[in-house]
Amino acid sequence: MPQAHVQETDHGGAGPERAGSGVRRLADRWRGPGIWRRGLLIAILAAVLGLLMLLHGQIPNRVGNLGSLAETFLPWFGLLVPVLLALALWRRSATALIAVLLPAVAWLNLFGGLLTDKSGSGGNFTVISHNVNAENPDPAATARSVAAAGADVVALEELKPEAAPVYERAMAASYPYHSVQGTVGIWSKHPITDARPVDIKMGWTRALRATVSTPQGPVGVYVAHLPSVRVKFNAGFTAGQRDNSAAALGRAISAEQLKKVVLLGDLNGTMNDRSLAPVTSQLRSAQGAAGDGFGFSWPASFPMARIDQIMVRGMDPVDAWTLPDTGSDHLPVAARVKL
């Protein structure tokens, strides 16, 4: 009877051999002198990006406030790093790969600390700041939403004169003490004294100062809405009026006699913006000290920058966060501190 012969094929070694040959082919593509010559343009772009982040303070503001504009959106520069990395790998360029390390390290040096959750427990004083939008279609709903968060002090900015009574009525049950000065206001669960406007050189009132009498002692509370900035094709980043107001606000805070101070407001600038140094050099950012992430607050539909700030002196932030959308074009920002 004829016997069938079956030819056996050993597939066990073929897979690893093929994988090994694939690795060798990939390695061969990276070998040779071209690995250092390729991708020079990518390497140059990476170096420029890294230097822009490392030396952002040296970008001049004399022409269109370019320095402040770059510093406003500085965190987003990091999105270019993976793009440059992908291009370097596509070009198989060792020079570009090494160059990409510069912007990657620069970004981590600037913002790496914001990638971790620094929030803690405890604290005995909670504050909220919210630009409610002068064109808010439902101010009562916005007021109820903010009041429901239960903060000790709430600061509201961009209050239209005709809308201020709506906020006052909606928040009266939760906050027995309040003061409205111009287009900014403060609501408190604790007594308020010495509430008065702060002149930030605008011609009308967009800042106030008040003493809040907490069980742990008096706290000087500042509420401010600095002028808006614009990016114009023929003028660049128009921030001159805001910068003048920041200088005036800084002078008012430096003259404050109370040891415990909190600033709440829409500063129309980020903590990286050098033009806010008259204010930021005196106070500590609650988001930077105790927040989780970047805490972007504007625009509410797709937050790209944190221009709404809570800053303190003489107290320790333990937590900072943003609240859900209330119908305004800004998100409310909140912080809990230990007095």
pLDDT given at position 66: 84
Produce one character per residue of 244-272: b if its CB has 16 or more CB atoms within 10 Å, e if not: bbbbbbbebbeeeebebbbbbbbbbbbbb
| Sole residue written with tokens 């570009």 | 96
Q: What is the pLDDT of residue 6?
A: 46
**Blockwise average pLDDT, block size 10, the chain, 339 residues:** 48 56 59 79 97 93 81 94 97 95 97 92 96 97 97 98 96 97 98 98 96 98 92 58 95 98 97 95 96 95 97 97 97 97
Q: Is the peptide bond before 191 cis (omega within 30 degrees of 0)?
A: no
Task: Give the three-class secondary structure for 278.
Answer: helix
Q: Which residues pair with 309 in a beta bridge?
A: 265
Note the pLDDT of residue 235.
Answer: 45
d(CA 158, CA 167): 12
Predicted structure pTM score: 0.86
User: What is residue 15's predicted lDDT score, i.e. its pLDDT?
Assistant: 58
Cα–Cα distance measured from residue 24 to residue 18, given in angstroms and rounded to the nearest whole number: 10
What is the pLDDT at residue 24? 62
